[in-house]
Structure 1
Amino acid sequence: MFAINEGIEDRAKAQVCVAPTTPLFISSSLYLTRPGAIGELDDFRFADMEHKVTNFWQPITAETRALANYVISGYLSPADRVDNIVNTFYESFMAGNINIGVHLRLQEGHVQEMNFFKQKIPKLQNILQIVHRVTNDAITANTGKEIRVFLASDTDEAIDVFKAEFGDNRVLNIHAVRGQDMSDRLHHKDSSRLLGEQVLTDVLLLAKCDFLVHDESSVAALAYYYNTDIRSYFVSGDPSDHRRLNAQPRFEADDLFRHAVARVTSNILVPPGWRESSLLIGLTTKWHVLWGFLNSDLPTEDVMCYYKNVKWSKCYEEFQRSEFAKNSDLRALMDV
């Protein structure tokens, strides 16, 4: 996303540097999810593909949602100009209503992305049917309140279809670049920044909705992370996906965050028998740094920062003291 507060990282009171991206540092499961799954937090999928493909990406769980929300709410904030646009739009068109957020991507680039993950984009008619069902349920449960459908889409044609189906006054959308014009502008720096701000605006307005109708997309995932109360209607999901996505986390968010930091800073990955030997730990971390120099495209200062994290971090001790670590099943799951 380009809609950032430039220079904010220079005002941070503390830094955590993650490992160089080399095979030595790759962990199959940094967060609380399925063992053997791959991918970072932004690669997580709404679908649980464990039995559908050979190498599956990690499924989003209630715990990863709580963790992402903890980081977003505590450490990230949109630029003031974006925040003002979002708040003005919400107060003008959405406040006081029951809002159904819909995220819909139909362009070829998204089709190719889904093919890469061995997934298919649902038909537009299937999405319309679900929005109709959610709308009818919302009307029944909220007598007297107006229903609004906030649509974030990459094509003008989809917006036209929704307005014809649900009415011009009920369907909301921001003014944004879409379709081929959007694809053409992605290659220009200034336009890319504008597109980033528009995407972030869509994300923040989707997150203000009561319901979220969506398929696989990082935009939908970010909206889902932003608002832990929003109910997911994952169009391609099965009943088990729906139960998982709308479940409550089993652990407090700050404990999940402590665990994730401990994993990323890598003290927790040192074999138990080595922890008593400062010499072996020192040799191991130095080898990590050397490997990082030889095999990573990270700048030298980033590799050295990671080395200092591993050498001096207290995260492992913090993790061991946490309630999260006391559950033997989870210790086995996370291989600690």
Structure 2
Amino acid sequence: MLSTFRQNVGHGDARSDAYVIETHNLSKRYKTGIALKGLNLRIPKNTICGFLGPNGAGKSTAIRLLLGLSKASSGNGMVFGLDIERDSVAIRRRVGYLAQDPHFYDHMTARQTLRFVCSFFYSGPSSVLEKRISDSLDLVGLNDKADRPIKGFSGGERQRLGIAQAYINHPQLMILDEPAASIDPIGRRDILEVMQRLRQYTTIFYSTHLLDDVQRVSDMVVILKDGEMLAHAPIEELLAGSGEVVYELQLEGETSSAYERLSSQAWVKQVSVMRERDQERWYVSVSDEESAKMFLLPLLIQDGQPYVSAFGRKKHGLEDIFLSMVENDK
């Protein structure tokens, strides 16, 4: 739908690489300390990459370096195969950016806003420009509100307009800063759907603290802490964790005998217990999954106690993994 205009946007003569972003030991030092330490990124084309980390982790520093808005102390990087320092202006022409809290002229309509922004990137026939604007509004689900003043837009609608504005020049890379923050669940859902639709046209590199959103839409995750990269992997690989098999159980009643029976099994590595009012939650780490499938539940209820109200293999969540990495610095 939006590919009509690609021949009209100057993309330079850069070589076509598998990676949109690639850095090698990229570092930044200030007088007050080290903001970024040896960052090595490889972000493939048409990837949605969640860029995570606590406040002060170095995310903003990394983005500024990638866009040539700050000079690296050591190391180097490329975006679209172009050097981030030498070719920064050419890089920025091909990047769309969405600030965390985008601001608009509220008296203008969405269509007028995109027409104004588009005029900086395109100077062809007005009919072609108007189609680009209409296509962009349709992409973010705002065609039915295209001619309404922005002052009446909800937070989610403003964010979607911000994404349309960031994409109006058909960038090969979009950098989004907290695109779904501070909006209601319906607005967040709409933003995630827009991001998924954009994947076929561009690469999305976005910072966020909403880990559920990252788990829903991202192909890849990068985690920083204190300027150091703790993780850089496809989300499926990260969610797989260490490969350790853990069963989660919710129990009521007498559990001491069941605890002894399980703990004595050679295939049971550890039993962790959390007490919650009149019930217990157990996490049973096992070395042999087949033995666990066959014997774990029968061993638990061997003498009729305890009552098992929930049982299943524990699923790794991105929040658990993120907190474990950041708090343990592993």
- TM-score, structure 2 length as denominator? 0.29
**Bigger RCO of structures 1 and 2 (CA < 8 A, at least 6 apart):** 1
Q: Which has the higher helix share?
A: 1
Q: Which protein has the larger Cα radius of gyration, Structure 1 or Structure 2?
A: 2
- TM-score, structure 1 length as denominator? 0.29
Q: Which has the higher strand share?
A: 2
